[in-house]
Homo-oligomer: A and B are copies of this chain.
Amino acid sequence: MRRTRIKDILGRGQAGGAVLVQGWVKTKRSSGAVSFVHISDGSTLADLQIVVEESSHYFPLVEQLNTGASIAVIGELVESQGKGQKYEIQAKRLELYGTADPETYPLQKKRHTLEFLREIAHLRPRTNTFGAMARMRNAMSVAVHSFFQSQGFLYVQTPIITASDAEGAGSMFRITTLDLDNVPRKDGAVDNSADFFGKPTFLTVSGQLEIETFATSLSNVYTFGPTFRAENSNTSRHLSEFWMIEPEVAFCDLDGLADLAEDFLKYIFAHVLENCAEDLAFFNKYYDKAIISTLENIVSSNFERLTYTEAVHILKASGETFEFPVEWGLDLQSEHERYITETKVGKPVVVTDYPSAIKAFYMRQNDDGQTVRAMDVLVPRIGEIIGGSQREERLDMLAHRMDQTGISAEEYWWYLDLRRYGTVPHAGFGLGFERTVQFVTGVPNIRDVIAFPRTPNNAEF
């Protein structure tokens, strides 16, 4: 007999027929001559009620069906008399795979703190929150691919190990096979030629530079993979390892990129509203009562567009007291971004044309000589969710800017080659996957939206 998933059972049009269900016990209670066992199997947030009659041969087994035990049930699918459930199973056969000793099993029926669950991250997918989280991440990952595929983008896996140490996005982890207890030396310095790759290598902070090689040959491409920051940031918004989505589009300027970012975010949010209603309702109820309305608002709004210079004027004219100063030339802080998108505009805002001095070397210079074609997409409740730019496609301008900012033309000869031969206008952005999951679920700490978080002094499991 083939297993039926609880999600498929609950989606049936009518009761009747025998089914095989396999899963883990959430709760159990007895009422007179009947026991009710609720099980889950990961396919949906909802439990399924199993009814075991006292007269059943299997009734004594119920004794062992504590929270966390794993079982198989064969029984008749019938309409449930109980509240809040459509169907239940009248158990005909019961098999116990594994018990869970209530004396030691850490996941009892009560509510556990997220901090506690982090310490047992190997068991937390068994909770409602982390089961729902896994389904949300899955749905959002699928949406990422289906959005780009539907627009003819090619998925490219860019390298994780890189010898480039100047991608300009923060501290990097070194990768090595050298014996740290006895580092080989040559002429007094570390002999990097003895390392696995013959030189120092690092974990990537972005696939952008590499994927530009594909955009400038195959037009529309994106990457979706892990990226890394060796920053000692112990905040609720930072991970040392996180996943990032980076589309890169040839023959595209910043306006086209802003359109793409808007379409992309709306697609992801519409996808979860449509496909994850049950899990979203759970997060909306227990974590943040504004998430569904926020997502619905974004999906139905047209993103506002402002230049950085306009944004600075708005902030200066706001009369607000900010913790950080507002001055043309200084970067916008989270409080500024939130003021603009939440208070001033009330919907997502694309801010463009930032001062070149605070942006990376590869962004396209504007004719004013002061600003670059950068953009940040700001959304209510968190501020910046996407950062991107039109890339500098003019060889001389790029070479000059690299020289100015101390990026080695010798090391990035290949990046310059993309401008030397058949250069094209192109643009791309990056979206941090976990921050987006945080935004969509309302879960306050980013450590709770990824399977096994890596943060300073923490690489458990």
Q: Which residues of A contact B (CB under 8 A)?
A: 3, 5, 7, 22-25, 41-43, 68-70, 72, 97-101, 104-105, 107, 120-123, 125-126, 131, 134-135, 137-138, 141-142, 145, 149, 152, 154-164, 171, 173-178, 180-181, 183, 189-190, 196-199, 201, 203, 210, 213-214, 217-221, 225-226, 228, 230, 232, 240-241, 243, 250-251, 393, 414-415, 417-425, 450-452, 454, 456-461
Contacts and interface: CB of A to CB of B under 8 A. Distances in A.
A122 B3 CA distance: 49
Given A137-B157, A155-B141, A203 B175 contact: yes
14 contacts: A22-B219, A41-B218, A42-B220, A98-B423, A105-B421, A123-B417, A125-B217, A135-B154, A160-B226, A161-B228, A161-B459, A164-B461, A171-B177, A180-B180
Given A174-B175, A189-B181, A69 B157 contact: no
Contact of A180 (B178, B220, B460): B178
A224 to B, nearest CB: 9
In the complex, the count of this chain's copies comes to 2
A361 to B, nearest CB: 17
B157 A450 contact: yes
A195 to B, nearest CB: 9
A407 to B, nearest CB: 15
A422 B99 contact: yes
A398 to B, nearest CB: 12
B250 A22 contact: yes
Contact of A210 (B3, B42, B210, B461): B461
Contacts of A393: 97-98
Contact of A154 (B42, B213, B251, B419): B42
B180 A176 contact: yes
Contacts of A171: 177
Contacts of A226: 157, 160, 225-226
Contacts of A5: 152, 219
Given A42-B218, A225-B226, A418-B122, A134 B158 contact: no
A55 to B, nearest CB: 27
Q: Which of A72, A100, A218, A393 has the most CB of B within 10 A?
A: A218
Given A158-B451, A225-B226, A457-B198, A423 B70 contact: yes
Contacts of A107: 421
Given A137-B156, A226-B157, A450-B157, A122 B213 contact: yes
A180 B175 contact: no
B68 A421 contact: yes
A50 to B, nearest CB: 15
Contact of A419 (B98, B417, B423): B98
Nearest to A20: B251
Contacts of A417: 120, 122-123
Contacts of A220: 42
A436 to B, nearest CB: 13
The 4 closest A-B pairs by CB, nearest first: A42-B218, A98-B423, A125-B217, A122-B414
Listed residue (A156, A210, A421) with the most chain B CB atoms within 10 angstroms of its CB: A421
A17 B419 CA distance: 33
Contact of A145 (B121, B142, B251): B142
B424 A214 contact: no
Nearest to A3: B251
A243 to B, nearest CB: 6
Contacts of A123: 213, 217, 417, 421
A160 B160 contact: yes
Nearest to A160: B226
Contacts of A210: 451-452, 461
Nearest to A456: B196
A424 to B, nearest CB: 5
